[in-house]
Amino acid sequence: MGSRTEKNTLFESIALMGKAFASPVRLELLDLLAQAPRTVDQLARASDQSTANASQHLQALTAAGLVSRTREGTKIRYALAGDGALSLWLALRDASIAGLGAVERAARDYLGEEVDAIGRDELITRLRAGDVVLVDVRPAEEYEAGHIEGAHSIPIEELQKRLAELPADQAVVAYCRGPFCAYAHQAVRLLQANGREARRLGEGWPEWRLASKPAENNRVA
């Protein structure tokens, strides 16, 4: 049987991964990487951090085994370290929603009033029936990295001027990054304000991919 020192070392090693979650900046970086691999400069811009600060947090996530990195010429591209890391982040996020009232209140304050939502199974049924059009309102580079099969890419900032591209005789379902992403909420409000029947998908792209539903995946070049 091992010694107490060895057992302590074991749990200290596991705690390294837990400590990596103890930063709101690192959690946001994980949320961004759940959508698409990115360079440190891209992550810094998306999270409103300095490049130096984002780099420090990425080093901590890499040391904890949550993030991998690949050199591409003079740049390094970061990605989640597999589906295990993604599942762990989603589990933490969902547990916080279920168990912490403060998270639910903060999400409500950030997202605003709830909008009509649709579940995965109903969406699949309606897509097969051809009576709904699915719109991915995330940034184009996230769509290119992976998206739900059949979804149209219309980033939220382009939606108003591209409304005419959406069939007038079909309802619209918008989806984005997940429950803490405001893009789908904004899209539904905009569409409804323009007289369109619209709902948001109750989950985001990462959850859909993990559920092994039909998907089109292309790694960002």
Mean pLDDT of the chain: 90
Quick: pLDDT tens for 111-150: 888 899 999 999 999 999 999 999 999 999 999 999 999 9
Residues 84 and 169 in one domain: no
Task: Please give the Cα distance from 23 to 28 (Å, whole number).
Answer: 9
Quick: pLDDT tens for 172-218: 999 999 988 999 999 999 999 999 999 999 999 999 999 864 555 54
Examine residue 108 and state whether it is found in any structural domain, yes or no.
no
Q: CATH code at 134?
A: 3.40.250.10
Pair 103, 27: CB distance under 8 Å: no
**What average pLDDT does this structure show over 27-46?**
96
Pair 175, 134: CB distance under 8 Å: yes
Q: Domain count for the chain, please give it.
A: 2
Where in the sequence numbering do the catalytic residues fall?
176
Output the 3-class SS for the chain: CCCHHHHHHHHHHHHHHHHHCCCHHHHHHHHHHCCCCEEHHHHHHHCCCCHHHHHHHHHHHHHCCCEEEEEECCEEEEEECHHHHHHHHHHHHHHHHHHCHHHHHHHHHHHCCCCCEECHHHHHHHHHHCCEEEEECCCHHHHHHEEECCCEECCHHHCHHHHHHCCCCCEEEEECCCCCCCHHHHHHHHHHHCCCCEEEECCCHHHHHHCCCCEEECCCC
Quick: pLDDT tens for 149-183: 999 999 999 999 999 999 988 999 999 999 889 99
State the residue range of the domain holding 40.
4-96
Residues 137 and 208 in one domain: yes
**What average pLDDT does this structure show over 64-71?**
94
pLDDT at position 219:
43
Residues 34 and 77 in one domain: yes
